[in-house]
């Protein structure tokens, strides 16, 4: 049996009130709030978060592939799936691929994962989709978009949901797009975009799938239907004939439209609400549409607990101002801070990958001291080159000491919480910055977890590393 | 291992005006310090047989020791540069002492110089040091305030009370600096000023942090048996200690953050060489590394000036003030001189040298009949410590 084996998601901590955004431009607000990736987050780091959530309790050795999907990959040329694979600590002998350039990239990655596991080219394949698209300042898109990620593990044992049917249609139209080099999403006239684009194609795909499977709306337990806005969503639900109780919250009021990740995030929300025997419809739109029909198995009862969508949704901090959003997302250039004088090195990054990305410490085989980063000579007994590597990224920690450094930060986010952290694993010490926190609430001894972040750009590439954050 | 005690002497010293020296470049600072030292020792550049120098942040101005060769025209002799962060000046001095003790040279110049105010940025900057990837965005105040947070936690001191405790160190050092003409800052401050000052890296505020200054200091070193040919009151080197610890104490398992091996080991080695049994009693003046107020507190305990966890009692009783049992940072310390990194160790030694000679510029800041003095720097995030002990007579 082939199907979804596990799921995970990620919603950034910061939420921005849409009323604040509207007020800045003296325009109407669409209401509610949207998620905003912190200034150290991007699609790659959010995909890593969702992947960690998805791999809770799963043997990494059995994962033989990673697909990454996004329309906002941090590099134009350079795989992110390989970065995700290394960071979540998967073995090297695996399949990796990136999918992008369209809003259906997440759904396409999921479909391709089923194909790959089905034809035997992978046993368990991790799909991680993330997006943080930019709407033009002042536009409705700016309010309606959100940042988020989802991950699904597709495999052939321990299946929690099988794929019962799939139906796809393609449709060439210039409705929403970004030219090469564009920062912001462009669009044509709204009535045509929604009417002939989103609405027509979503309806066509879902009805095509229902016809193919001989089903009507009553035959579906949970419908995960993304939409660019609440009104289009309500209309689509009505057109397709679903009752309120069948429809998964489209996450537009609290998160926003997370692009290529959004259909998968709604599928995760459906899975966390589902009972054995339920059927789940998921549809994705973007230059056409495709609909998936899943059936939930008894195995879902055995899945280890995870954050999914629910776990992240109410764990949040308000982003204080619209201006911070503009600056965090690189739209507004703020006063530069003191330049960061140490450039990263691609070779050092590559050579020390087990410490840097896999976040392994070394446990001395002679005296048991656990040190991070990997030490060839033990701190305690000086035994040379005799250690086992231990992954620390998914282990909890607590704060040993800290300072609130007002000089080291960015001008739009000036306080750097310098943190010396003690891991729950053998009290290994890690020195890092704390993120997604309220500096005034930081205390010695507080529980922390690690999170993979973009530290800074230097030497022409992104320097990713680990930070800590209060447990969410 | 033989002790260095009484084998080497300082016969001349120079120290520039410290401060925002917009008027002076790296070369000007080195010239100012060196020529005062020449004059003090009664020597000229032609007498210098070797030079040990230190500077940290100016690699763009000259590689190796060429800064000294270019500024002082000391050509054709060894000029050995070192960079050991905040301990750089002390290491230059100690290298010069060892060179003379070895018998290789009779008259040696030790010089520390730093030009911080040509960078366009007020601090030492972010992104130095550890690793191109692990390096966090941090500054020196951010690194050293990790000590304060942990100290308050370990000894269950309410952070506001803790800030008052270390704030008194700032008040003391500013009192001392107000009397010292070469200091960068001469303003006296109150505890209220300290508590109300802007936060730099919590829990450290503005007055908990040393300034950023330009400066240079120099010493002329010779053999003890030759010293009285140059002057009647040479200052003898009694001992020194240097200890390096991991560059990454932040990652070191079990690191306490309230006590530092490098401080304990460097001071004990120096005490052993100098024959000091009880530093609290045997020392008459100590110039220690008060880059931040909390650093000075940690040094009180690791150097054995105060019992562990009890520095607060000595701070409250005024034991370390100019009129106290052991005056610490009698010239105002880094707090009032600022910290031109490579220069500081020799500048601190300049204060000990002048006090031991009874030649403090103003009588009201002259310590009565001092015999033994200590100077010390502590650098890095922090992990490297250098101590030197001096006396005004043999034995």
Average pLDDT of adjacent 10-residue blocks, chain A of 472 residues: 97 98 98 97 98 96 96 97 98 96 97 97 97 98 98 97 98 96 96 97 98 96 97 97 97 98 98 98 98 98 96 97 96 83 83 96 98 95 98 98 91 93 97 96 98 87 94 97
Homologous superfamily in CATH for domain A3-328: Thiolase/Chalcone synthase (3.40.47.10)
| pLDDT value, residue A439 | 96
Residue bearing tokens 């330009």: B214
Q: Name beta bridge partners: B237.
A: B390
Q: Is the pLDDT of residue B121 over 80?
A: no
- Rounded to two decimals, the pTM is 0.95
The answer to whether the Cα torsion of A200, A206, A212, A216 is positive or negative is: negative
d(CA B385, CA B376): 7
| pLDDT value, residue B58 | 64
Residue of B200, B204, B250 lying closest to A420 (CB–CB): B250
- Residues of B at the A interface, defined by Cβ within 8 angstroms: 121, 123, 125-129, 131-139, 141-143, 145-150, 153, 198-204, 246, 248, 250-255, 257
d(CA A61, CA A247): 36
CB contact under 8 A, A416 and B153: no
d(CA B252, CA B14): 40
CB contact under 8 A, B137 and A456: yes
**Separation in Å, CA A37 to CA A141, A221, A254, A470:** 16, 32, 14, 16
CA nearest A90: which of A268, A350, A357?
A357
Helix (H, G, I), strand (E, B) or coil at A10: strand
| pLDDT value, residue B122 | 74
Count contacts between A and B (CB, < 8 Å).
147
* Separation of CA A327 from chain center: 21
| pLDDT value, residue B7 | 97
Chain B residue whose CA is closest to A349 = B133
> What does the pLDDT average to over B212-223?
97
CB contact under 8 A, B149 and A444: yes
CB B141 within 8 Å of CB B267 = no
CB B110 within 8 Å of CB B95 = yes
pLDDT digits (tens, 9 = 90+) for A413-465: 999 999 999 999 999 999 999 999 999 999 999 999 999 999 877 778 888 99
User: What φ, ψ does residue B207 adopt, rounded to 5°?
Assistant: -80, -5
Residue B296 DSSP one-character state: H
- pLDDT band with cut points at 50, 70 and 90 for residue B107: very high
Catalytic residues of B: 86, 339
CB A246 within 8 Å of CB A222 = yes
Residue bearing tokens 């020194």: B240
d(CA A178, CA A189): 15
> What does the pLDDT average to over B61-82?
89
CB B314 within 8 Å of CB B306 = yes
Chain A residue whose CA is closest to B145 = A403
d(CA A187, CA B275): 82
Residues of A in contact with B291 (CB under 8 A): none
CB A408 within 8 Å of CB A339 = no
Domains of chain B: 8-118+211-391 (3.40.47.10)
* Separation of CA A310 from chain center: 14
Strands A33-36 and A387-391: unpaired
Q: What is the largest CA-CA distance in chain B?
A: 59
- What distance in Å separates residue B137's CA from the closest CA in chain A? 5
Strands B107-114 and B50-54: parallel
Structure tokens at B72: 């002082």
Q: Which of A359, A401, A409, A428 to mutate to test the interface with B (most CBs of B within 10 A)?
A: A401
CB contact under 8 A, B251 and A400: no
Domain parsing of chain A, residue ranges: 3-328, 346-470
Residues of A in contact with B253 (CB under 8 A): 369-371, 379-380, 426-429
């Amino acid at each position: 049996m082939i199907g979804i084996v596990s799921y995970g998601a990620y919603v950034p901590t910061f939420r921005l009130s849409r009323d604040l955004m509207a007020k800045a431009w003296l325009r109407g607000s669409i209401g509610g709030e949207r998620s905003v990736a912190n200034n150290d987050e991007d699609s790659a780091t959010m995909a890593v978060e969702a992947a960690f959530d998805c791999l809770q309790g799963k043997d990494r050795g059995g994962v033989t592939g990673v697909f990454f999907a996004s329309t906002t990959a941090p590099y134009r040329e350079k795989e992110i799936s390989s970065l995700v694979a290394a960071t979540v600590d998967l073995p090297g002998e695996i399949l990796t691929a990136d999918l992008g350039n369209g809003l259906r990239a997440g759904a396409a990655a999921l479909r391709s994962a089923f194909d790959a596991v089905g034809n035997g080219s992978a046993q368990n394949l991790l799909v991680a989709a993330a997006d943080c698209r930019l709407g033009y300042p002042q536009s409705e898109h700016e309010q309606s978009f959100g940042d988020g990620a989802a991950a699904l593990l597709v495999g052939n044992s321990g299946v929690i949901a099988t794929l019962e049917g799939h139906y796809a249609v393609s449709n060439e139209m210039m409705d929403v797009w970004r030219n090469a080099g564009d920062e912001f999403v462009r669009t044509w006239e709204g009535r045509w975009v929604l009417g002939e684009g989103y609405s027509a194609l979503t309806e066509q795909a879902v009805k095509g799938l229902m016809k193919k499977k001989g089903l009507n709306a009553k035959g579906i337990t949970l419908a995960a239907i993304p939409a660019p806005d609440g009104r289009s969503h309500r209309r689509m639900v009505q057109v397709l004939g679903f009752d309120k109780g069948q429809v998964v919250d489209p996450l537009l009021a609290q998160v926003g439209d997370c692009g290529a990740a959004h259909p998968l995030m709604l599928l995760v929300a459906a899975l966390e609400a589902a009972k054995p025997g339920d059927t789940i419809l998921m549809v994705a739109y973007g230059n056409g549409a495709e609909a998936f029909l899943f059936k939930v198995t008894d195995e879902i009862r055995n899945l280890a607990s995870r954050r999914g969508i629910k776990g992240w949704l109410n764990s949040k901090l308000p982003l204080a101002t619209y201006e911070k959003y503009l600056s965090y997302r690189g739209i507004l250039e703020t006063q530069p801070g003191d330049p960061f004088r140490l450039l990263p090195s691609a070779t050092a990054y590559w050579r020390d990958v087990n410490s840097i990305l896999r976040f392994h410490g070394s446990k001395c085989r002679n005296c048991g001291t656990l040190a991070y980063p990997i030490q060839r000579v033990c701190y305690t007994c000086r035994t040379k080159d005799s250690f086992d590597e231990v992954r620390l990224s998914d282990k909890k920690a607590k704060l040993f000491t800290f300072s609130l450094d007002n000089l080291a930060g960015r001008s739009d986010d000036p306080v750097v919480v310098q943190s010396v952290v003690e891991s729950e694993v053998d009290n290994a010490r890690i020195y890092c910055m704390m993120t997604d926190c309220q500096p005034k609430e930081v205390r010695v001894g507080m529980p922390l977890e690690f999170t993979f972040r973009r530290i800074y750009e230097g030497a022409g590439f992104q320097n990713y590393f680990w930070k800590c954050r209060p447990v969410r | 291992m033989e002790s260095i005690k009484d084998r080497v002497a300082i016969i001349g010293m120079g120290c520039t005006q410290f401060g925002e020296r917009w008027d002076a470049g790296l070369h000007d600072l080195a010239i100012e310090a060196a020529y005062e030292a020449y004059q003090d020792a009664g020597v000229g550049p032609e007498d210098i047989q070797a030079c040990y120098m230190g500077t940290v942040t100016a690699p763009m101005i000259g590689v190796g020791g060429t800064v000294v060769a270019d500024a002082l025209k000391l050509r054709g002799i060894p000029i050995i540069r070192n960079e050991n962060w905040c301990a750089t000046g002390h290491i230059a001095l100690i290298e010069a002492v060892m060179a003379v003790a070895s018998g290789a040279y009779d008259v040696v110049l030790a010089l520390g110089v730093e030009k911080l105010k040509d960078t366009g940025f007020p601090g030492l900057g972010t992104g130095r040091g550890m690793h191109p990837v692990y390096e966090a965005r941090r500054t020196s105040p951010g690194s050293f305030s990790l000590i304060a947070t942990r100290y308050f936690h370990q000894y269950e001191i309410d952070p506001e009370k803790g800030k008052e405790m270390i704030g008194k160190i700032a008040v003391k050092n500013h009192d001392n600096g107000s009397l010292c003409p070469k200091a960068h800052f001469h303003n006296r401050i109150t505890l209220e000023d300290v508590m109300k000052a802007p936060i730099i890296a919590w829990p450290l505020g503005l007055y908990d942090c040393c300034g950023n200054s330009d400066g240079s200091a120099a010493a002329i070193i010779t053999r003890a048996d030759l010293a009285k040919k140059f002057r009647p009151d040479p200052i003898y080197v009694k001992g020194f200690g240097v200890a390096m610890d991991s560059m990454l104490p932040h990652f070191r398992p079990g690191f306490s953050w309230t006590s530092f091996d490098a401080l304990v080991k460097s001071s004990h080695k120096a005490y052993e060489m100098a024959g000091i049994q009880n530093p609290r009693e045997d020392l008459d003046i100590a110039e220690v590394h008060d880059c931040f107020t909390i650093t000075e507190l940690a040094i009180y305990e690791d150097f054995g000036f105060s019992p562990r966890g009890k520095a607060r009692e000595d701070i409250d009783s005024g034991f370390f003030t100019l009129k106290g049992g052991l005056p610490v940072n009698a010239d105002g310390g880094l707090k009032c001189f600022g910290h031109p990194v490579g220069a500081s160790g020799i500048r601190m030694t300049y204060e000990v040298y002048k006090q031991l000679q009874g030649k403090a510029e103003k009588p009201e800041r002259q310590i009565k009949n001092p015999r033994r003095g200590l100077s010390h720097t502590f650098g890095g995030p922090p992990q490297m410590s250098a101590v030197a002990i001096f006396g005004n007579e043999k034995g």
